[in-house]
Amino acid sequence: AVAVGMALGASGCIFQSISRNALGSPDIIGFTTGAATGAVIQIVYFNAGGPATSAAAVCAGVITAAVVYWLARADGQTGGYRLVLVGIGVSAFVGALNTLVLARGNIDLAVKARIWLSGSLNARTWDDAYLSALAVIIIIPILIACARSLDVVEMGDEQATQLGARPERIRQIAMFASVILTSAAVATAGPIAFVALASPQLAARLTRGSRVQVVCSALTGAALLLASDLVSVNLPVTIAMPVGLTTGLLGGIYLLWLLTRTKGV
C-alpha cells in the first residue's frame, strides 16, 4: 500500500503540473486504463501468471502514453487542456477495449480479469511489492530532479526558454518516468482510482505550497491508500472489499466537490 500509494501520488503530481490542470492525473487521462488493458489481454488470452501480467501492464502503459503524447502534441508542444482532453478520449477507447476483451474471452479468465480490474491489495505477496518499491526507489529521485524545472515551465514555455530551460524535453523526461511509475503501481495492485488525482491536491492544501511537491504528494498518496485499505478490510460486510472500490467511492465524492468549488479546474 505504501509503495503503490507513493507511486500514484508522485505521478499524479507530475501529470497535474504538465497539464496545468487539477484533472490531469494518470487515471483521468488514460494511462492507468491503458496499463490495465495490457494486463487484461494477458490474463484473458494467455494467463501466464503474475510476472507476465506485470510486464504486460508496464508495456501497455508506455504504449498508451506514447499515443496520448503523439495525439496531444501541437506545434511541437504538449501539456495544458489538450493533453487532458486527448487523454480522456484515449481512456474511453481503451476502456471500451477492456470491455470487449472481457465479453469475448473465456468466461472463467474474464471473471479473474474483472476481479483484477477492481484494484486490490488482497492476496498480494512480497514479490508484488518489490516491483512498486523498486520503481519508487528509482523513479521518484528522477521526478524530484525534474520538479524544479517544472516549476519554471509552469510559468509558460516562452518565459521558461528565456530562463534557459527546455520545456518540451523536461516534459518528455518527466512524463516517461511518471508513466513507468504508474504502470508499476497498476501492475502490482490493479487500477486504483483517484489516489493520483487527490494526493497532489491534498498535499498542496496541507503544506500551503505552490511548488511541484513530489515528495509530499508521494507521502500523501501512501497515507491515503493505506487508510483506504484499512477501511476496506474493516468494513462490516461478509466479503473483502477491494481498495479500488473504496478509493473510487471516496474519490468520486472528492471530484464532485473539486468541480463545484474550483472555478479554474
For residue 159, what pLDDT is reported? 76
The full set of domain ranges for the chain reads 2-261
Q: Select the CATH number that applies to the domain covering 2-261 from these four: 1.10.3470.10, 3.30.390.50, 3.30.56.10, 3.30.365.10.
A: 1.10.3470.10
**CA distance from start to end of the chain:** 29
CA atoms of 189 and 127, how far apart (whole Å): 12
pLDDT in tens, the chain (265 residues): 999 999 999 999 999 988 888 778 888 888 899 999 998 999 898 887 778 888 899 899 999 989 998 888 876 677 677 888 888 999 999 999 999 999 988 888 888 888 888 888 887 888 888 888 999 999 999 999 988 888 888 777 777 777 777 888 888 899 899 999 999 999 888 889 889 988 888 888 888 876 788 999 999 999 999 988 888 888 776 666 788 888 877 777 777 776 677 655 5
Helix pair angle (107-117, 80-104), 10° resolution: 150
**What cell was used for 33?**
486504463
For residue 11, what pLDDT is reported? 93
For residue 59, what pLDDT is reported? 92
For residue 98, what pLDDT is reported? 92
Helix pair angle (214-233, 195-207), 10° resolution: 120
Q: What is the pTM of this model?
A: 0.87
CA atoms of 113 and 47, how far apart (whole Å): 10
User: Is residue 229 within 8 Å of 164, Cβ to Cβ?
Assistant: no
What would the 3-class secondary structure string for 157-214 be?
HHHHHHCCCCHHHHHHHHHHHHHHHHHHHHHHHCCCCCHHHHHHHHHHHHHCCCCCCH
User: Is residue 42 within 8 Å of 176, Cβ to Cβ?
Assistant: no
For residue 106, what pLDDT is reported? 87
**What cell was used for 171?**
516534459
For residue 263, what pLDDT is reported? 59
For residue 60, what pLDDT is reported? 92
CA atoms of 17 and 158, how far apart (whole Å): 16
Residue among 33, 190, 45 nearest 110 (CA): 45
